Amino acid sequence: MFSQRASEVTPFLVMEVLEEAERMAREGARIVHFEVGEPDFDTPECITQAAIRALSEGKTHYTHSMGILPLREAICQHYGQRYGVDVTPEQVIVMQGTSPALFTVFAAILEPGDEVILSNPHYACYPNYIRFAGGVPVYVDIREEDGYQLHPDDIARKITPRTRAILINSPANPTGVVLSAERMAGIAGLGPLVVSDEIYHGLVYEGREHSILEYNPQSCALNGFSKLYAMTGWRLGYIIAPPGLARTLQKIHQNFFISANAFVQWGGLAALRDPACQTDLTRMQATYAERRAFMLKRLQDLGLRIPHPPTGAFYMLVNFKRYCRDSLSFAFELLHEARVAVAPGIDFGTNAEGYLRFSYATSMEQIAEGMDRLGAYLAGNG
Ligand SMILES: Cc1ncc(COP(=O)(O)O)c(C=O)c1O
């Protein structure tokens, strides 16, 4: 009834926890949400206003398949100013999020059996993109004791004649780890195409993040507006591709998606260009930084060890092996018993089994309440 390809797609477990939490909420339960990977902030007003203006000006038609030129120019300017890299609008394909960008890149580059190297743990959906396009995920272990750092030497050992790409993500989901400049440069020089998911760029609280394009212009940088600009529901992202690949990506996008939503693209342009937006970004970043410090302290006060506090995104991957072996059933137990929703580590790969991912994209009050509930639950079940 279904294709082999479709039947091999694994469920996104975080969404299953969220759906159960929503079901409980409909029955009157008050749930604290640490599972969701999305900002709790509303989209900055200047972005919303720009999109409303676009709609009332009749910007309701298909756009160029690669996206409206002013947005592609603004993306190039953003990468130029922030990372000192020189990219042109012909290399940029605007899409409905980073998710379709991942889908399109792997559809464009993988032959059946081609290998893509990525870390374990990793963003939950990555292996599905690779397998669906006929590829084979090949994992490099990263470990808590080592601060979940991805070492170029470990990647090099996994390279075979079938290796088609290396997929990296810094700041990372689920670990919050930011790759150092040296590691990034090392990975960029290994040989295979690097696909760099830069969706958490701008959300770094110590040090700074780097783009793969600083080290190798023949790489693919994927980025989007969901996280930094609090625009998850708008669906807007993009690929910056090497010139030789951009045309192929454009053809796939033209055929299967036509273009990103017109008025949403005008909202994205305001996100990059309107100075008022920068004020909102600064406020949101400062708020995440406070929440990060608070959540870290509260988790440590519960006796949970976080040997290398994460410095980016809005996640903490926390070792619960003292309390559980099966993170999925433990996540549901915490939800049902303590009304605290968390992401089960197993969603992110076998090396995160026994761990739970906490998102601090929620208010200080909710973090305090959730930590109180977690503390009471662990005290009763330790
Ligand atoms: C690492 C990573 N990449 C991509 C995405 C999807 O982003 P988008 O909303 O742009 O499709 C997410 C969402 O959680 C993510 O964590």
The CATH number given to whatever domain includes residue 100 is 3.40.640.10
- Neighbouring-strand partners of residue 312: 204
Q: Is the CB of 104 under 6 A from ligand 1?
A: no
Co-location of 112 and 13 in the same domain: no
Q: Are residues 160 and 37 in the same domain?
A: no
Number of domains in the chain: 2
Mean pLDDT (whole number) for 118-131: 97
Q: Which pLDDT score, from 0 to 100, does residue 11 have?
A: 86
Same domain, 226 and 121: yes
| pLDDT band (50, 70, 90) for residue 382 | low
pLDDT band at residue 1 under the 50/70/90 scheme: confident
Integer Cα distance of 14 and 35 in angstroms = 6
Residue 101 CA: nearest ligand 1 atom is 11
* CA 97 / ligand 1 centre spacing (Å): 8
Residue 265 has pLDDT above 80, yes or no: yes
- Specify the CATH number for the domain of residue 358: 3.90.1150.10
The answer on 159 and 21 residing in a single domain is no
pLDDT tens by residue, 160-176: 999 999 999 999 999 99
Q: What is the mean pLDDT of residues 179-200?
A: 97
pLDDT at 45 over 80: yes
Residues 189, 80 share a domain: yes
99 CB less than 6 Å from ligand 1? Answer: yes
- Which residue among 103, 105, 106, 173 is best mutated to probe the pocket of ligand 1, counting the most ligand atoms within 8 A of its Cβ? 173
For the chain, what percent of residues have pLDDT higher than 70? 100
The residue-averaged pLDDT of 206-211 equals 95
* Judgement on whether residues 70 and 187 belong to the same structural domain of the protein: yes
Rounded to the nearest angstrom, the distance between the alpha carbon of 135 and the centre of ligand 1 is 20
Q: Residue 358 and residue 373: Cα distance in Å, rounded?
A: 14
175 Cα–ligand 1 center, Å: 14
- Domain holding 282, by residue range, is 4-42+277-381
238 in contact with ligand 1, CB cutoff 6 A: no
Beta bridge mates, 204 = 312
Q: Are 220 and 245 in contact (CB under 8 A)?
A: yes
CA distance 313 to 282: 15
Over residues 199-225, mean pLDDT: 97
User: Which pLDDT belongs to residue 314?
Assistant: 96
What pLDDT is recorded for position 36?
86
Q: Which of 248, 274, 300 is the endpoint of a domain?
A: 274
Query: Does the beta carbon of 38 sit less than 6 angstroms from any atom of ligand 1?
Result: no
Collect all residues with Cβ–Cβ distance below 8 Å to 337 and sequence separation of at least 6: 377
